Amino acid sequence: MNKHNIGSLLMISLHGYVAGSPELGKPDTGGQVVFVLELAKRFARLGYRVDVMTRQFEDQPAEDIINENLRVVRVPFGGSDFIRKEDMHDWYGDFVTNALAMIRHRKLHYDVINSHYWDAGVAGQKIAEELQVPHIHTPHSLGWWKEHDMVGAGEEEMAGYRFKERIQKEFVLYRNCDHIIATTEQQTDLIVEQYQLPREHITMIPPGIDEGRFTPATPDVVAEARRKHDFKETDIYVVGRAAENKGYDLIIEALPSLLKLQPDARLVLAAGANSDSDKALLAQWKEVASSLGVSDAISWRGYVADEDLADFYRGPGIFALPSRYEPFGMTAVEAMACGTPTVVTIHGGLFDQIEFGRHALVADPKRPEEFAAMLNMPMQYSWMRETLSVEGARFARRVFGWTGIARRTLQVFEQFKGRYDDLQTDEVALG
C-alpha cells in the first residue's frame, strides 16, 4: 500500500459506555456513541482498519473485537468508576499519557485521528501532535451554544459545566486541529462566528440515517400504519420541535390555497411542546388556523413515540419541511427514505443537494400559494408521486445512508494524508 493511502484510522470517543453493542440509555450513552460506531463500522466495511479508543472503567474489558477491521480499545484513567463527561476535565492528561504508552508499546500506526466531542478533541490533538499524524475533529455540540441554551439555569448547575474552561479549550482546539467536520450548517455558522474560525477550515457532513429502519414498506404495511395512526393519502405530515424557524404557521397559511386544489387535504402537525413558551407558540398557530378558517383541516399531534417514527413517515401522502430556516432537515431525508413524496423549503441545506422533480419538490414557504402548488403536485399526478417515492428513497439511502456518509468523511481524511510524513521521517532520524 502507498504510504499516502489511508489504511488505519483512530477514532476517539471518551465518555459514556462505548461498545460494539452499546448500552443505550446509560449515562452519556446515546446519539454520539451510535454515530461513532455506525461510522466506524462503515469504515471497516470499506476496507479500513479502525480502532475506536475510549475510557476503560468498571469491569469493562481492555478490548472488544467487533470484526477483522474494527475493535474498541479501552484505556484506563481516572479510576474505575463512571465519570460523567462534565466532570472529566482534569483527567485528559492521564488519558493522553496512557494512550500514547499503549500505542507505542504495541507499535500501532494510524494515518488519521478522528476525535468526537471536545473532551476527545483536546486529548486527540495532543496524541496527534506526538505521533505527527493529521487530526480531524467532530464537535457534536459547542460549549458556546450549550451555555447560551442554558440561560436561566441556577449558578450551581452552570458551575458544574465549567463553560469558560470548555469554550477556551474548544477555541484552541479548533485552531490546532487540521480540520473540523460539523454535523449541521448551524453548527458551522456558530464555529465561524463565535470561535472566529475560517469557513474553509470546516466541512459540514450530516449524521447518517438508519438504513434498516427508514425504508419504503409494502402496501399492506402502509395500510396498517394508516389505520393505526389515523393517516390518509391526502394528509401532509410535518414533524419537529415547537420553534419559530420551523415555519408551522407558514404551512397553515398555505392551507386555504391547497384546499381549493385538494378539498380533502389535511395537515397532520406533530409539534412537540413541553415548555410554556412551546405551548404559547402552539396556541399562536391554532389562532392562525382559526383566523384562516382551516382549523378543521388540521390534526394536531404531540411527540411521536420513537418506535412509531417510520410509520408516521410512511402513513401520509406527502411530507413537508416548511422551515423559515433549516440548517439541514434530517426529518425530510428520513421521510424520503421511507418512500414518501417530500416538499422541502428553499431556506435550508437540503435544498442544494436534491434534484427538483426527481428526488423531491422545493418551494418558498413564505409564498403560501407557491408552497400549496408544490404540495398539490404529487396528490394531483400519480406519475409525480411515484417518481418522488422511488427516486427520493434511492437518493436518501445512497447519499445519507451511513455508507454514503462514511465515503464523504473519508474524502475529507484523504485531503490530509501524508501531511506530516516528512516530520515523521525527521523524528525517526533524530531518534
Q: pLDDT tens digits for 304-335?
A: 888 999 999 999 999 999 998 776 688 999 99
H/E stretch holding 251 reads helix 248-261
Q: Are 258 and 337 in contact (CB under 8 A)?
A: no
Query: In the chain, what percentage of residues exceed pLDDT 70?
Result: 95
| 64 and 27 housed in the same domain | yes
Q: What would the mean pLDDT of 233-255 be, rounded to a whole number?
A: 92
pLDDT of residue 229: 97
Question: Residue 395 has which C-alpha cell?
Answer: 437518493
| 42 and 178 housed in the same domain | yes
| 204 and 276 housed in the same domain | no
Q: Would residue 3 count as lying in a domain?
A: no
More confident residue, 88 or 13: 13
pLDDT of residue 161: 82
| 237 and 329 housed in the same domain | yes
At residue 69, φ and ψ (nearest 5 deg) are -105, -5
Residue count of the chain: 431
At residue 180, φ and ψ (nearest 5 deg) are -120, 135
CA 293 vs CA 231, 256, 352: distances in Å: 22, 8, 35
Q: Would residue 154 count as lying in a domain?
A: yes
Q: Are 74 and 54 in contact (CB under 8 A)?
A: yes
Q: Would residue 164 count as lying in a domain?
A: yes
Angle, nearest 10°, between helix axes 31-45 and 402-414? 70
How far apart are alpha carbons 102 and 105 in whole angstroms? 5
| 340 and 411 housed in the same domain | no
Tell me the average pLDDT of the chain: 90
| 226 and 322 housed in the same domain | yes
| 231 and 107 housed in the same domain | no
| 380 and 261 housed in the same domain | yes
Confidence of residue 426 (pLDDT cuts 50, 70, 90): low
Name the residue type at position 164. Answer: K
Q: Would residue 108 count as lying in a domain?
A: yes
Q: What would the mean pLDDT of 417-421 be, rounded to a whole number?
A: 85
pLDDT in tens, 114-134: 999 999 999 999 999 999 999
Q: Would residue 96 count as lying in a domain?
A: yes
Q: Would residue 2 count as lying in a domain?
A: no
Confidence of residue 424 (pLDDT cuts 50, 70, 90): low
Domain that holds residue 253: 219-400
Question: In this structure, what DSSP letter does residue 14 have?
Answer: -
| 337 and 369 housed in the same domain | yes
3 pLDDT above the threshold of 60? no
- The number of domains in the chain is 2
| 336 and 411 housed in the same domain | no
Q: Would residue 213 count as lying in a domain?
A: no
What SS3 state is found at 115? strand
How far apart are alpha carbons 299 and 198 in whole angstroms? 45
279 pLDDT above the threshold of 90? no
Strands of 68-215 (E only): list them: 70-76, 112-116, 135-138, 179-182, 202-204
Q: Would residue 59 count as lying in a domain?
A: yes
What SS3 state is found at 206? coil
Name the residue type at position 91. Answer: W
290 pLDDT above the threshold of 70? yes
Global pTM value = 0.74
pLDDT of residue 100: 98
| 293 and 342 housed in the same domain | yes
| 175 and 283 housed in the same domain | no
Q: What would the mean pLDDT of 44-71 be, rounded to a whole number?
A: 95
Domain of 419: which CATH number? 3.40.50.2000
